[in-house]
Amino acid sequence: MISKAKAQHADVLVVGAGPAGMAAAIAAATHGCRVLVLDDNAAEGGQIWRKGIAATPDRSESKVRDTRQATLRTAFRKSGAKLLPGRRVVDAPRQGILRTIVDTPAGPIAESFAWDRLILATGARERFLPFPGWTLPGVVGAGGLQALVKGGYPVAGKRVVVAGTGPLLLAVAAHLRHDGATVVSIAEQAALRRLVPFAASMWSHPAKLKQGIRYRRALADVPYRIGWWPVAVEKASSGILVRLTNGKHTVAEHCDLLACGFHLVPNTELAELVGCKLNGGAVEVNEQQQTTVAGIFCAGEPTGIAGLDAALVQGEIAGLTAAGQTQQLSALSRKRAKEIAFGQRLNAAFRLRPEVTLLSAPDTIVCRCEDVTFSRLQGHASWTAAKLQTRCGMGPCQGRICGPAVQSLFGWRPTSVRPPIFPVPISAFGNNDSDSLEELTVFQETQ
């Protein structure tokens, strides 16, 4: 229990310390704003620049990218922006206030932050689609496995199948191999007829093209199956058996791990909570990254999946605009338009084929928090109806995993976001906290 502390004030409050949030914070702080940056993780960098404790130094990363990462980290630390790590934003009790939870040795603590301008740089998560066996231990996200390896998982000697869709698959496979894993095969569900024009358009993005070629070269002897997707995973005597298909033929691969993700989904929950309008599943912004709510900006993946370069330029634009420095924007806006166009081509190339939304068996679990099976979800008119009847999406992930899945499977629209947007342990709030949460998702204390 804590006594209620006074809210800390920021001229510019940034949520998310990935590339977009760092770029925004640097731009605003170097123009004299008091900038606070909140992040759920232990350090800045986001998912793409998550720091690892890898046993061997990373030589597989592009020189360009490494230099940029180091440059941005240095600029961030020198900018005067203050990073507050380990904070997850749970609600916005009043206009201009965000509330966070931070875990401390003494237990979770609630803090409040007051802002004049707010920049949301909440990134993206992997899309997961259910198929028989996808809840078995040994099936992990593609980015998920990379994060675990950076977090010390000894992947050397493990046999890994990488499957799903998106440019992340190749990057993950190259890193896994670099760390000593045997990449058994890569299955990319996208059709070759979509990937060819996408690849051909990459001449205008030479750095990205070079990196793609570098990853592909690093994996030159690994079977890379385009137009193939996972259909089922079974337990084997040791490890797992992954079945892959192209619709005509099926192969079974024996391995220790399946790293599987179906491209990315924008993290829009916080933007929705503070009233920002979405458009096509992404936060609607104008050319200055302003959302539909005055004083609130959004940058990077939440505005539409477009990758690192888009995040960096959008973050800088958001930071400059939030600091009132709009005269520098014309050169940046050309770069912004180019990167957004890249994102649109990317998302078209890696669009889900209908077959991957039809993989569930009746007993396949769709909602992993509440173990709701596919058959129990069939026949409901909407996600709201399904939630009420089955608790699908009512568990601690609050639909972050099953929401994009049921949207793909049943075409259900996401339901409105309600606070807290992450589960809150009740002990984080003292009795004297006047901003009591409207509706608490409280964990049961089982121990």
Binding residues (CB under 8 A) for other proteins: these are: 40-42, 47, 53-57, 88, 125-126, 128, 135, 137-141, 143-149, 151-154, 267, 365, 368-371, 395-397, 400-401, 423, 425, 443, 445-447
Nearer to other proteins, 227 or 403 (CB): 403
CA–CA distance, 95 with 150 (Å, rounded to integer): 38
Sequence-distant (6+) residues with CB within 8 A of 368 are 135, 395, 397, 401, 402
Minimum separation from the CB atom of position 153 to other proteins (A): 4
CA–CA distance, 176 with 181 (Å, rounded to integer): 5
Minimum separation from the CB atom of position 364 to other proteins (A): 12
Nearer to other proteins, 221 or 445 (CB): 445
Alpha-carbon separation of residue 247 from 107, 251, 355, 405, 408 (angstroms)? 51, 11, 8, 21, 19
Q: How do strand 224-226 and strand 182-188 relate by DSSP bridges? A: parallel
Minimum separation from the CB atom of position 396 to other proteins (A): 4
Sequence-distant (6+) residues with CB within 8 A of 118 are 12, 13, 15, 98, 274, 295, 296, 297
Nearer to other proteins, 146 or 290 (CB): 146
CA–CA distance, 28 with 39 (Å, rounded to integer): 17
What sign for the dihedral angle of Cα 78, 79, 83, 88? negative
Nearer to other proteins, 265 or 349 (CB): 265
Nearer to other proteins, 7 or 258 (CB): 258
Nearer to other proteins, 111 or 126 (CB): 126
Minimum separation from the CB atom of position 387 to other proteins (A): 16
Nearer to other proteins, 143 or 315 (CB): 143
Angle at 143 (CA atoms; ends 102, 183), nearest 5 degrees: 145
Nearer to other proteins, 227 or 393 (CB): 393
Kindly write down the DSSP assignment for every residue of 398-417, as one continuous string.
Answer: TTTTHHHHHHHHH-PPPPPP
Task: Name the token pair of 55.
Answer: 């046993």
Minimum separation from the CB atom of position 53 to other proteins (A): 4
Say how many C-beta atoms besides its own lie within 10 A of residue 8's C-beta.
15
Nearer to other proteins, 14 or 155 (CB): 155
Minimum separation from the CB atom of position 6 to other proteins (A): 27
Kindly write down the DSSP assignment for every residue of 29-75, as one continuous string.
Answer: HTTT--EEEE-SSSSSSTTTT-----SS---SS-HHHHHHHHHHHHH
Minimum separation from the CB atom of position 16 to other proteins (A): 12
The helix (run of H) or strand (run of E) holding residue 311 is helix 308-322
Minimum separation from the CB atom of position 260 to other proteins (A): 10
Alpha-carbon separation of residue 104 from 100, 107, 340 (angstroms)? 13, 5, 40
Nearer to other proteins, 27 or 359 (CB): 359
Minimum separation from the CB atom of position 444 to other proteins (A): 8
CA–CA distance, 65 with 32 (Å, rounded to integer): 28
Sequence-distant (6+) residues with CB within 8 A of 17 are 25, 37, 38, 39, 41, 43, 44, 45, 46, 76, 83, 85, 121
Minimum separation from the CB atom of position 447 to other proteins (A): 4
